[in-house]
Amino acid sequence: MLLQDKVAVITGSSRGIGLGIARELALEGARVVISGRNAERAEAASREVEQAGGTAIAVPADVSIAEQAKALIYAAKEKWERVDILVNNAGITRDNLMLRMYEEDWDAVLTTNLKGAFNCIKAVSRMMMKQRWGRIINITSVVGIMGNAG
């Protein structure tokens, strides 16, 4: 198994692409931390990964809040003593035309999609440097390259 004994934290992994990433990493031997803002969905996703033969725990977190991002990384370290892989996958959309967009929606997208990644990277960086090994993967949308109305 390619990732035997590695520990992976995947943000936004209680469903969708993040859950798919968590499943694949677990199938390659990684112990995965499922995270999302909804605790029930995170628990269900964790059970799904385990039923498929992987090892997982659920740690609900809103990564846009620095303390919750730190707690997410700390939970992985407490359970498995390390974090080898961080996948920043958490993201939201509030697409709208500029004239119709609310400032709160703009702030929510930037806080989750950008600050969330920053918070998690900051929380895990020292640990990865001490380990002298780690991988950080940042997921984004193709809309960041091509653009889209709204």
Could you tell me if 90 and 112 are in contact, meaning their C-beta atoms sit under 8 angstroms apart? yes
Q: Answer whether 0.85 is exceeded by the pTM.
A: yes
pLDDT reading at 144 higher than 80: no
State whether residue 60 is helix, strand or coil: coil
pLDDT reading at 141 higher than 90: no
Which of 15-24, 109-118, 135-144 is least confident? 135-144
Amino acid at 43: E
Select from 29, 130, 20, 121 the least CA-distant residue to 72. Answer: 121
What does pLDDT average to over the chain?
95
Q: What does DSSP assign to residue 14?
A: S
Per-residue confidence (pLDDT) for residue 148, from 0 to 100: 76
Both tokens of residue 146? 């091509």
Mean pLDDT of 119-143: 95
Show the DSSP H helices in the chain as ranges.
16-27, 39-51, 66-80, 103-110, 116-131, 143-146
Sign, CA dihedral 8-10-14-16, equals negative
Mean pLDDT of 3-28: 97
Confidence of residue 143 (pLDDT cuts 50, 70, 90): confident
pLDDT reading at 147 higher than 90: no
pLDDT in tens, 85-126: 999 999 999 988 989 999 999 999 999 999 999 999 999 999
Per-residue confidence (pLDDT) for residue 106, from 0 to 100: 93
pLDDT in tens, 37-60: 999 999 999 999 999 999 999 999
